């Protein structure tokens, strides 16, 4: 029993720091609410697309058709958990383009100078941005060429370190578990991993137009992308009044990317690990009070790198998140002390 207690004591210190050493931040810059349990109602817009390049340089692009997902977030000390789902009646952007079903789940660790976040997302149901690319006789008023068989799975993880943890709060900018009392910024360095797999049951390219694409393209029935990069950038929060804020972040990266495309007759084609760049941008704003908070944040991620010269397949991810929440105080006695 003593060994078990010591083990969890070590886990607690690793996750929370040495609480006996005093405050680890400048209280004139940061107000902490990490000892309060925060419960948030969350809405998010999550979009993705897949593009295939024609010989003439134009592209056939399929995109999701989702307006908003709805979910819940829970944050306490270093732990953050969030889940969101599509609700058919409320989540469809344009009913004529069919329904995209999206659900996502994320969790992570947010410390003073280190933070880790990962999430999983499934999407099903895409439609072409230009219907005439798949049906040359299509005109306004005709049924939209919706593709229920196109689906995507994405996993993304990032580990970052902030160099001004004493005066800049990443937690205040993203999860509102702290409040930035005075404007401040920080240089950031870390690493990002991204895996994405998109698959479909029938060819993306219509048979009437197949000759306008590179030969292997019409035989592809799944595309998988791995990205790993080292990143570095800067984030800054401007404090407005006492409780308002605006935060911006730009974090470019350089690493490696691999793209593989499965062929319907067996085997695959694509690249090995090649040098690639990444870029993450975020802009957010909100209100952080002692009891309640609200914020909206936009985030985009793109990878850039070489792929086979005769086949072009591109994917972009975008997320817009809104949250409004309430803090519950004095919950410590009711929560297991397993690292919390």
Helix (H, G, I), strand (E, B) or coil at 250: strand
Helix (H, G, I), strand (E, B) or coil at 9: helix
How far are the Cα atoms of 62, 64, 133, 318 from residue 148, in angstroms, in the given order?
11, 10, 17, 21
Cβ of 73: how many Cβ atoms within 10 Å? Answer: 20
Domain span holding position 127: 28-334
| CB-count burial class (<10 Å; 0-12, 13-18, 19+) for 89 | exposed
How far are the Cα atoms of 37, 68, 181, 254, 332 from residue 326, in angstroms, in the given order?
8, 22, 19, 39, 16
Res 52: pLDDT: 78
**Continuous segment of H or E residues that includes residue 5:** helix 2-16
How far apart are the C-alpha atoms of 250 and 98, rounded to whole Å? 34
Give, as one character, the DSSP assignment of residue 144.
P
How far are the Cα atoms of 146, 149, 208, 220, 327 from residue 202, in angstroms, in the given order?
12, 8, 14, 10, 49
Task: Flag whether 329 is in a domain.
Answer: yes
Query: Phi and psi at residue 12, in whole multiples of 5°?
Result: -60, -45
- The length of the chain in residues reads 340
Res 307: pLDDT: 55
Task: Flag whether 177 is in a domain.
Answer: yes
> Tokens 């307006």 map to which residue?
67
Task: Flag whether 303 is in a domain.
Answer: yes
Res 327: pLDDT: 93
Task: Flag whether 15 is in a domain.
Answer: no
Task: Flag whether 288 is in a domain.
Answer: yes
In the chain, the number of structural domains is: 1
Task: Flag whether 165 is in a domain.
Answer: yes
Helix (H, G, I), strand (E, B) or coil at 34: coil
**CATH number of 249's domain:** 2.40.128
Per-residue pLDDT of the chain (340 residues; tens, 9 = 90+): 545 556 556 556 656 665 555 677 899 999 999 889 999 999 887 777 777 777 787 888 888 877 678 899 999 988 899 998 877 666 666 777 777 888 889 999 988 899 999 989 888 888 888 898 888 889 888 888 888 899 989 899 999 999 999 999 999 998 889 999 999 999 999 999 989 888 888 888 888 888 887 765 556 778 888 999 999 999 999 999 999 999 999 999 999 888 887 777 766 666 678 888 888 899 999 999 999 999 999 888 777 665 554 445 555 677 788 999 999 988 777 676 656 6
Task: Flag whether 289 is in a domain.
Answer: yes
Res 337: pLDDT: 63
Could you tell me the two tokens for 153?
């799975």
Which CB contacts under 8 angstroms, 24+ apart, belong to 266-272?
269/216, 269/220, 269/308, 269/311, 270/307, 270/308, 271/306, 271/307, 271/308
Per DSSP, what are the bridge partners of residue 213? Answer: 54
Res 314: pLDDT: 53
Helix (H, G, I), strand (E, B) or coil at 161: strand
Give, as one character, the DSSP assignment of residue 216.
G
> Tokens 């086979």 map to which residue?
308
Query: Phi and psi at residue 47, in whole multiples of 5°?
Result: -115, 150
Res 188: pLDDT: 96
Task: Flag whether 6 is in a domain.
Answer: no
pTM of the predicted structure, to 2 decimals: 0.81
CB of 247 within 8 A of CB of 235?
A: yes
């Amino acid at each position: 029993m003593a060994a078990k207690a010591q083990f969890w004591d070590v886990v607690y210190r690793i996750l929370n720091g040495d609480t006996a050493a005093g405050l680890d931040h400048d209280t004139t810059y940061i107000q902490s609410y990490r000892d309060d349990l925060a419960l948030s109602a969350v809405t998010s817009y999550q979009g993705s697309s897949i593009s295939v390049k024609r010989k003439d340089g134009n592209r056939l692009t399929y995109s999701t058709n989702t307006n908003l997902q709805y979910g819940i977030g829970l944050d306490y000390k270093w732990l953050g958990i969030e889940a969101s789902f599509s609700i058919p009646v409320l989540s469809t952007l344009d009913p004529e383009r069919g329904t995209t079903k999206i659900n996502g789940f994320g969790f992570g660790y947010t410390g003073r100078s280190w933070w880790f976040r990962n999430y999983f997302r499934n999407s099903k149901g895409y439609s072409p941005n230009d219907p005439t690319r798949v049906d040359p006789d299509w005109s306004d008023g005709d049924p939209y060429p919706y593709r229920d068989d196109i689906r995507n799975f994405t996993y993304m993880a990032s580990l970052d370190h902030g160099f001004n943890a004493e005066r800049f709060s990443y937690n205040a900018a993203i999860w509102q578990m702290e409040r930035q009392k005075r404007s401040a910024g920080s240089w950031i360095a870390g690493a990002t991993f991204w895996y994405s797999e998109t698959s479909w049951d029938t060819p993306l390219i219509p048979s009437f137009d197949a000759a306008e694409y590179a030969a292997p393209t019409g035989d592809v029935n799944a595309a998988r992308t791995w990205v790993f990069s080292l990143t570095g950038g800067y984030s800054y929060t401007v404090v407005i009044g006492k409780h308002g804020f605006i935060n911006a972040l730009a974090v470019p990266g350089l690493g490696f990317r691999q793209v593989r495309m499965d062929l319907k007759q067996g085997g695959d084609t694509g690249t090995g690990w090649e040098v690639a760049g990444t870029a993450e941008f975020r802009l957010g704003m909100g209100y952080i009070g002692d009891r309640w908070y609200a914020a909206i944040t936009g985030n985009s991620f793109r990878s850039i790198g070489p792929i086979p010269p005769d086949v072009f397949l591109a994917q972009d991810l975008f997320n817009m998140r809104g949250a409004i929440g309430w803090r519950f105080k004095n919950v410590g006695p009711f929560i297991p002390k397993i690292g919390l």
